[in-house]
Amino acid sequence: MSAAAKAKPTRRLAFKLTRRRIIAIALVVLGAFIFVESSILDSELITTLTFESTSTGQTPTVGNIPVPTSAYLLVIGLLFALSGALNLFEFEEARPRQVSLALLALCALLFIPTIIIAAAAGNETNLTTIVAESLRLATPLAIGAFAGIWCERAGVVNIAIEGMMLFAACFGFTTLFFLRGTALPLETAQLLAVIIGVLAGGVIALLHGWLSITFRTDQIVSGTVINILAVGVTSFIRREYLLSTEAGAAKLGNFALPVLSELPVIGEAIFTNQPIFFMMFVMLAFTHIVMFYTRWGLRTRAVGEHPHAADTLGINVNRTRWINVFISGMVAGLAGAWFSLEATGSFNDGMTRGAGFIALAAMIFGKWTPIGAFGAALLFGFSDSLGIRLQMVGVGFPVQFLQMVPYAVTLVVLAGFIGRASPPKAVGQPYVKE
């Protein structure tokens, strides 16, 4: 309010709602809520944070951390409220401004541990499992988001990621289902199934390209058509071919990464895992490197931002888009294969459950960069894993409420820190040579 205190004969708002203040207000509210919550809890309650599964019977290499829940929440509540209140002010001097910003950063850092501790309230909570679960559940979201990046960076909107995933999940599983009876070893059959899934995504993407690049259909319409088509075709296939027998197959097997899997604690929980999970990291690196360090990536970004400029330099705009859309489809196909081949070993109608759209949200949240999208996907994955964990532990209030928290955080962070996301400028616009 200090800014308004300077008396000026203007009509400007007395209190400007800056991004920082939005966060500050949210923090104050949250702090107050946590404070109230802490006073309700039994003060004897102790949450134990563990890092290793105790069921294996081995002596833990890393100790457990007991946290007196009520006291912890009391402190955190006060801290949040205080730093929120501090950040409502505009400081002219450097020192208090730095202090208030540092407090803000501290709150951000403590946020996720706080959710975990509050949620577990009095039980034992395994942090390693939560991290591993978050990563596992983030897999289709992250890979789906990379699929979106490939397409949209070239200027083609892809809301058909959902449909491409569903097609891939279905065709991949169907392949495996029919190969089961043959002499092929299981691993080979599974590999073929994944490849067919990936190709199915690519083929559907070609349909998207055909509609939106060649015929210049509105890209949203084209994507919607594919999404609707996917639901129909895949449930038809399931009814016709898969339902007739007991449709289930072996999931993709675990791999132990050399060296890394030897690490204590995380070696088993994270580096001994299924192939598409590992592919997530490969795709992260691949997408990032191609987009920002190669000729193809530079051209792709130019085509997505200012296709005419690219054209005047002799770059074939539509060819670039075609290839990127095709790659996007194959990447989405990999994400789809996760559902049927890696996660469940079966195919169900609409089993992607909107993951394609959440992947798109992750892409936007991550500002169309692979690393940002990966981070966003992790946040969404964390929210999912939290929900599952809480249901198992059984807390005193609706699980959905805590599960909602990461999304609420996303909203605040989006409004507060990140600001307006700026998509590639030419996204959604078909390119027509004059």
Partner 1 sequence: MIEAPPVLEVRGITKRFPGVLANDNINLSLHKGEVLGLLGENGAGKSTLMNMIYGLYKPDEGEILVNGAPVEISGSKDAIELGIGMVHQHFQLVDVLTVTENVMLGNEAVSGPFLRRDRARREIESLSREYGLDVNPDALISDLPVGIQQRVEIIKALYRHADILILDEPTAVLTPQETRGLFKIMHTLLERGVSIIFISHKLKEVLEICDKVVVLRRGAVAGHADPKDSTEQSLASLMVGRDVILEVEKEEATPGDEILNVVNLHVRDDRGLPAVEGVSFGLQRGEILGIAGVQGNGQTELVEALTGMRAVDDGRFFIQGEELTGAAPRRVTERGVGHVPEDRQRDGLVASFTVMHNLVLSTYYKDEFSKAIVVDERAIAENARQLVEQYDVRPPIINNVVGGLSGGNQQKVIVAREFARDVDLLIASQPTRGLDVGSIEFIHRQIIRMRDAGAGILLVSSELDEVLSLADRVAVMFEGQIIDILSVEEADRDTVGLRMAGVRAGAAAEA
Q: Which residues bind partner 1 (CB under 8 A)?
A: 8-12, 293-296, 298-299, 301-302, 305-306, 308-315, 425, 433-434
**Nearest-approach distance from CB 314 to partner 1, in angstroms:** 3
Strand partners, 50: 126
Closest CB 102 distance from partner 1, rounded Å: 24
Minimum distance of partner 1 from residue 8's CB (angstroms): 6
111 vs 368, beta carbon nearer partner 1:
368
Residues 36, 38, 40, 45, Cα dihedral to 10°: 180
Long-range contacts of 2-5 (CB under 8 A, 24+ apart): 2/89, 2/90, 2/91, 2/92, 3/90
Which one, 216 or 308, has the nearer CB to partner 1?
A: 308
Q: Which helix H or strand E contains 67, and what residues bound it? A: strand 65-68
Closest contact distance (angstroms) between CB of 195 and partner 1 is 23
CB of 366 to partner 1, least distance (A): 16
Nearer to partner 1, 223 or 370 (CB): 370
Residue 241 backbone phi and psi in degrees, to 5: -115, -35
Could you give the C-alpha distances from 9 to 12, 14, 92, 198, in angstroms and in order?
9, 12, 21, 65
Q: Tell me the C-alpha distance between 155 and 149, whole Å.
A: 10
- Minimum distance, C-beta of residue 283 to partner 1, in the bound complex (Å): 17
Q: Which of 148/336 has CB closer to partner 1?
A: 148
Q: How far is the CB of 216 from partner 1 (least distance, A)?
A: 17
196 closest CA partner among 89, 98, 333, 43: 333
What is the rounded distance in angstroms from the CA atom of residue 232 to the CA atom of residue 34? 47
Given the structure tokens 């995380």, which residue do they identify?
Answer: 266
To which residue do tokens 């708002």 refer?
13
